[in-house]
Amino acid sequence: MPTSLLKGLNPEQLAAVTLPHESALILAGAGSGKTRVLTTRIAHLIQSGQASPNGIFAVTFTNKAAKEMLTRLGALLPINTRGMWIGTFHGLANRMLRAHHREAGLPALFQILDSADQLGAIKRLLKALNVDDEKYPPKQLQHFINGCKEEGLRAHLVEAFDPYTRKQQELYAAYDEQCQREGVVDFAELLLRCYELLLRETALRQHYQSRFRHILVDEFQDTNHLQYQWLKLLAGEQAAVFAVGDDDQSIYAFRGARVGNMADFERDFHVEKVIRLEQNYRSHGNILDAANALIRHNQSRLGKNLWTAEGSGEPIRVFEAHSDYEEASFIVDEVKALQREGVPLSGIALLYRSNAQSRVLEHALFNAAVPYRVYGGLRFFERQEIKHALAYLRLIGNSNDDGALLRVINFPTRGIGARSLESLQEIARSEGVSLWQAAQLRRLSGKAGATISAFTALIESMREVCAALPLPEQVEHMLELSGLVTHYKNEKEGADRLENLNELINAAAGFEIEYSQEESEGASNVLAAFLTHASLEAGDNQAIAGQEALQLMTVHAAKGLEFHAVFLSGLEEGLFPHENAARERDGVEEERRLMYVAITRARRRLYISFADSRMLHGQLRYGIASRFLEELPAQLLKRINRTGSEQAMQQPTAGAASASTSDSGWQIGQAVSHPKFGPGIIINSEGRGADARVQVSFSHAGVKWLALEYAKLEAG
């Protein structure tokens, strides 16, 4: 076979791409070319005749990653990638459910609730059942329901050991009934419903197991319990599963990700080949050596060691600030210096562990006139005016969608008040029908009946007008007929919202060009497919056009990105690692993986900073250097003092913020314990002999001065 496909692969990449038909685990370190390996593996399977394009099932976590795989695959082989089963977990589950909606117990045009829509549905449920939403907060119930679904548990399978959980269990069951009645599904339901479909329908399961003999999984370390069970079910006994992941970058336990799935995979699939992709094509050697040294402190890992042929590069710069304001000032000065060196602002990232840290940083950047952008801001499909427009489109496609109806029945205002809606909802509850069906019963008289009838007539007329139109014209007519355009034209600050609505028309036009309808699978019309696309894309960050800008983000948001220079701020105990980590099983190890992710975002230059004090949550907080800083080899670091000069950094004493020592022998930065106030950190000292005293920042009792003669302090 031609060798051009395999040209340029390093030995480990080549071994992974050319594996025989067997399940394998590919440990792909940061910057090791995992996307290239995945796409080349698919191309190799097709080119060598081991698989046809429709016999491959490849799953990843973001639409962006899936699109990149398809684009690269199209560049490698002269094949039509449209229709290939390459997508996200939610996207592929949705596709399977669309193809087999009857067997799954769903209407053909079922709609997907994004997080905000789901929350709205839960609020409606609580109101309908007269449940106290202070005792059972909607967001908390949403988290409970999604958590159960991600564990593969329906309401009747949830173990309830107390009255509160039993009530949540009842509300979960009622929520499922409401969604079924309205013909809608939430994100977690997509995968659970698909899993149940395959588990229940033997012939269907065998069909897909026979079809997909090659299953490839990206970011395997981020899979949750249900996702792993779904993959196992789909693979059966014959499929070769090519799992690519990095246990050192598993940082989403709070979303349900189970790093243990990688060890389970080795056992369950009898994996004989674990290939480690350790050559890094992103960062210089000092950065990688620091990351390797840090992550070795984690006990439960599969193990690998990143290296590069690019040389050692510059040392990692470390700055200790008196305060968070001084830290921010330092970062601004260094950003400007990088600009003078010719580094674009878009190539510089400022990372922090907690969003609460960003205020001081943003203030300093604003005052210095440094353009910046907070990565992960409000997304296109989550903007108010877009959600209104999509709700109208959802009603055109499925008039029984109660959530969509309630969002727009009185927007723009058309005189339908809360009392009228309550009456309509009561009719719907008593008859066990949707709000739309309740409106068709014509039981409301007077103004309420007339205005609601006018609204349903408006939707019907939209449906008739749009039926024969191309998708972008459907959107355009809906915007005019609904009154949204007129409403925002008359709004004081409606210009930006109108621009967004116009962009929705553009999005529809672009989608229609890319859309190709499958004969036996996929959405049954382009409008339903577009609405699905909008729901699935709502989780992806939208690019913002405009000027060059410094990128601000949490470390979690930075995963998968890379920058010429990275500033990692707030490296203090209690902040990074976060103070909550110590209370959780394996919490510190996950925090260390998060630090590993932060370090490996940098290509050429890495700055690490911490402050002796900072304002957080309205309080002045004293801190010491993070243990993670201590875990980095001293020879890789250079301390930058407050005059801007650099010096080799000595490895700090464990638990110490500085080398300053009081006459009593206590060291500033030392961990101590007090019989009354508990654990704390010494932050200052003064006096001699009987007058000696120390200032201690206690974890639970605040900052206190203590006379050493009576303090009864012990080393912590």
Q: Give one DSSP letter per residue of 216-274, joined into a string.
A: EESSGGG--HHHHHHHHHHHTTTPEEEEEE-GGG---GGGT--TTHHHHHHHHTT--EE
Q: Is the peptide bond before 577 cis (omega within 30 degrees of 0)?
A: yes
Q: How many whole angstroms separate alpha carbon 201 and alpha carbon 55?
A: 20
Q: How many whole angstroms separate alpha carbon 684 and alpha carbon 494?
A: 55
Q: How many whole angstroms separate alpha carbon 262 and alpha carbon 278?
A: 18
Among residues 99, 442, 216, the alpha carbon closest in space to that of 451 is found at 442
Q: How many CA atoms lie within 13 A of 93 on its CB side?
A: 26
A 10 A CB-CB count for 76 gives 18
The bridge status of strand 678-686 relative to strand 693-698 is: antiparallel
Q: What is residue 517's three-state secondary structure?
A: coil
- Give catalytic residues, as residue numbers: 34-35, 218-219, 249, 601
Q: How many whole angstroms separate alpha carbon 26 and alpha carbon 36?
A: 13
Q: Which DSSP letter does residue 279 get?
A: B
Check: CB of residue 581 under 8 Å from CB of residue 405: no
Angle between helices 446-466 and 471-482 (to 10 degrees): 160
* Residue ranges in 305-445 assigned as alpha helix (H): 324-340, 358-367, 384-397, 402-408, 418-431, 435-440
Contacts of 433 (CB under 8 A, 6+ apart): 181
Q: How many CA atoms lie within 13 A of 81 on its CB side?
A: 21
Check: CB of residue 540 under 8 Å from CB of residue 64: yes
417-423 long-range Cβ contacts below 8 angstroms, 24+ apart? 417/448, 419/448, 420/444, 420/447, 420/448, 420/451, 420/452, 423/448
Q: What is residue 188's three-state secondary structure?
A: helix
* Residue ranges in 445-577 assigned as alpha helix (H): 446-466, 471-482, 484-489, 495-514, 526-537, 555-558
A 10 A CB-CB count for 86 gives 25
Q: How many whole angstroms separate alpha carbon 195 and alpha carbon 33?
A: 31
Among residues 269, 313, 263, 258, the alpha carbon closest in space to that of 288 is found at 313
Burial class (CB in 10 A: 0-12, 13-18, 19+), 162: exposed
What type of residue is 638?
K
* 581 Cα distance to chain centroid: 19
